[in-house]
Structure 1
């Protein structure tokens, strides 16, 4: 569960930063009321899907993990001890140790988006979550905190009175967008697009189109399954997921009528491509080939024919046997008659 807390972006609007194509940088802090498998304090810094720094509890300092900086960003003004104090206050711990486990998280940073008209949209954010729920968010324009949970009322009143601290936060968020422009994230990996067509296990009249795009970087990508160049509705998407090598993948599928004629394609747009990729499907379904065994109606007809042939064969065999037996009887009678005539002739002599 806590791995989810450490690496997912669930805090309110900040979730959009993790799933959008905007350039961004953010620091994320995770504090536990008691240490167990995970440390009581951990923090990471991320820029454009890349881990750029992490906090070392042993050295009590930030460790930079990326060298692509002209001017490396500074960590937020709040210290490790400040976070530990906040978690104990929110958890109502009477001493330095807490009997119950609570989780405090914070994500602070900014995003930069270039719009189609050439203008630039900037947004800064500073948000907190407590025990997996949205808790507080900072408004850098009004220097006030916004409560996102009924439990945050008392904390909001305390934090609104910290005017000096709030001014520091405002200045920090203003410089955040400058750091984005100094990060030379020029890495691009082209997506590898695969398409498959399979029969629908629940409906013999339908087929399932699947498009898998993998190996791309950065994270942002647009992918649609289209029919005659129009994106289909009711597509089922896996969402963008990480690969082990730092790249990403995404899978989408949709059901279609197997008798529906038209052109289907998987349409992919990514920053690494000079032009969009359109990958089509094979003409034949990979597991829809005609079966080597006949269907039920054909099988029944085959059985009937086989039975009739068997019956006919038996009749023919019996007929031949009777005919053979009949011929043997006639031959015996003729032989007996000739033998009698011969005996009579001998006696007459």
Structure 2
């Protein structure tokens, strides 16, 4: 019974990995952080991230957003709230004066939109504006109702104030609508095909075993399906590095498996990525 359950769980996980590789996902997130420390002015940072790449950042010295990657000039403008407004909210929530806070506090915000497209044509769109305070969920914005949803008992007073700021809420609704319109027509031209390398070596501690390794690198976007197979069947007893970033913004993944040298059959590295027109089998070991 236990083996049947484990096999069932493995099949579900494998199916979910296949779906992740098949669907196409895009997003843009504007991330804000304000941190107060005792006896210092609050520190503010903000970045815009699209499909795992930072495309903008806010310069505290120059007082405006700076484009990091020129290829993203058509991305939506930053949300309407200013740096000073965000720092004022932190001071209000923290009971800080204009010059100092007596305890450390952090206010965080993520605002943006996401798109998922599935092979059968289904499209999921999501727009959001979410806040966290002192590492707890705080509030989120309902753009249809133009009202705020409290996620924490400490947010009740802030919700009442923000619900009354009808002009600001209208601007936020317009920003989120602009964001979803942009992401719906988004064409990711930055896809990079994976470069796949396969190796085989004797196991160090067991001369009767062989170690097969598949390295996939240089691919973009991040989502990928990669498996080492025996006679077209995925091997589950493998070690994986998980997806890791490269210095150039692309990604890499490494998987290896230890097999018996006496077992006859064909092993291959199966890779499926959105940059490929169809899944590819690399480096057959026999």
Q: Fold conserved (TM > 0.5)?
A: yes
2:36 aligned with 1:33: yes
Which structure is higher in helix share? Answer: 1
2:224 aligned with 1:215: no
Q: Deviations over 1:235-262 (max 9, x none)?
A: 5433322111121112234455555544
**5+ residue gaps in structure 1?**
1-19, 284-349
In the TM superposition, residue 109 of structure 1 has moved relative to its aligned partner by: 0.8
Deviates more, 1:74-83 or 1:212-221: 212-221
- CA RMSD in angstroms comes to 3.3
In the TM superposition, residue 233 of structure 1 has moved relative to its aligned partner by: 3.2
Instruction: Measure the CA separation in 1 of the matches of 2:223 and 2:237.
Output: 21
In the TM superposition, residue 165 of structure 1 has moved relative to its aligned partner by: 2.5
Which structure is higher in strand share? Answer: 2
SS in 1 for 2:177: helix
* Contact 2:41–2:99 (8 Å) recurs in 1: no
Change in CA separation of 1:156 and 1:269 when aligned onto 2, cut-off 3 Å: same
Change in CA separation of 1:148 and 1:260 when aligned onto 2, cut-off 3 Å: farther
Change in CA separation of 1:274 and 1:161 when aligned onto 2, cut-off 3 Å: same
2:121 aligned with 1:118: yes
Deviates more, 1:201-210 or 1:232-241: 201-210
Instruction: Measure the CA separation in 2 of the matches of 1:37 and 1:212.
Output: 47
* Contact 2:224–2:273 (8 Å) recurs in 1: yes
Instruction: Measure the CA separation in 1 of the matches of 2:208 and 2:164.
Output: 66
Q: Deviations over 1:39-90 (max 9, x none)?
A: 8111111222332221111121112233335744111011101110122223
| Other-structure match for 1:99 | 102
| Other-structure match for 1:66 | 69
**5+ residue gaps in structure 2?**
1-22
In the TM superposition, residue 268 of structure 1 has moved relative to its aligned partner by: 1.0
- Highest RCO, 1 vs 2 (Cα 8 Å, sep ≥ 6): 2
Tell me which of 231, 239, 248 is aligned to 2:251: 248
SS in 2 for 1:124: strand
Deviates more, 1:133-142 or 1:165-174: 133-142
| Other-structure match for 1:174 | 177
Aligned pair count reads: 264
